[in-house]
Amino acid sequence: MTAQFPAARPRRLRRTAPMRRMVAGTRLHPAELVLPVFVKEGIDEPNPIGSMPGVLQHTRDSLRKAAHDAAEAGVGGLILFGIPAVKDARGSAADDPDGIVQRAVADLVSDVGDAMVVMTDTCLDEFTDHGHCGILTPGGEVDNDATLERYAAAAVAQARAGSQVIAPSGMMDGQVAAIRAALDADGFEQVPILAYSAKYASGFYGPFREAAECAPQFGDRNAYQQDPAGPVGEALREVRLDLAEGADAVMVKPAMAYLDILRQVRDAVDVPVAAYQVSGEYAMIEAAAANGWLDRERVIMESLVAIRRAGADMILTYWATEVATRLG
């Protein structure tokens, strides 16, 4: 670059809205958005989630309406989390053919499966009475290898119900390989896996744990989710392991505090990369807006543009339907 002021005036390309729109380097599209949804067994009416204004624990019927609205807005997909009526130590409802996730998946695929991608979260924390993401040893630790068997069973149950993408989120070593082998053995070679490859032990998950009723009853998840201050390169190692095991796409979670990780992953792989704008990110913006401290719509869009700019091909966000409607 040789020109200097006054010949060089970068503001020329910022002066009007049409000009800014024409030269924009980052664009959002409704098809890139994925809506996380919660369905709860045994309720007659949707339950508002106190820490996430506007987000609900759905009945099967209200979930169908929410999915229809998302599809109408052009949202690319949704990802389902289920809350069973009965929980136990092994998360039996996770692979029950008549479990709440399996029944709700069948509803959604029937209703909107041709218009959007129906994904299922594959973990045990919503289904266990202790709230951890796997089977526990007698000493109270999560047993990695025993948990893999449960993940594989849950993934097959979800695929049989019609799930179009399996998304394992538990951060167990070997989870993608176990699920891929189980799906293939059951005739689901064509069902892709979106791996939560870089999932951090974050304080931003609090509202989600209210929504999914999955707060650990003791301890924490630091022994299996990534440390926010962990070794440089750990996220890329996790991503590469998942890809070697058969993952078709990978995810970084949370988004806002890990945009640097998202950029590293995007630069390192040649598969789609997702980022999850998690419950705490949603709750902070909604709370600040409710207090008049910021412009809600502007900050929502700015936050999503930042995630897209950092390299996300897909963004999981609770604002998916609202934003898709606004994007038109």
Catalytic residues: 199, 253
Closest C-alpha to 152, from 245, 29, 73: 245
Flag whether 318 is marked binding: yes
- Separation CA 145–CA 88 (nearest Å): 19
Determine contact, residues 153/175, Cβ cutoff 8 Å: no
Residue 195's DSSP bridge partners are 250
Flag whether 238 is marked binding: yes
**Cα angle, residue 150 at apex, residues 144 and 151 outer, rounded to 5°:** 85
Q: Dihedral sign for Cα 138, 139, 142, 146, please.
A: negative
Residue 78's DSSP bridge partners are 35, 118
Instruction: State whether residue 108 is helix, strand or coil.
Output: helix
Flag whether 279 is marked binding: yes
- Measure Cα distances from 274 to 44, 194, 271 in Å: 33, 8, 10
Binding residues for Mg(2+): 238
Binding residues: 209, 221, 238, 279, 318
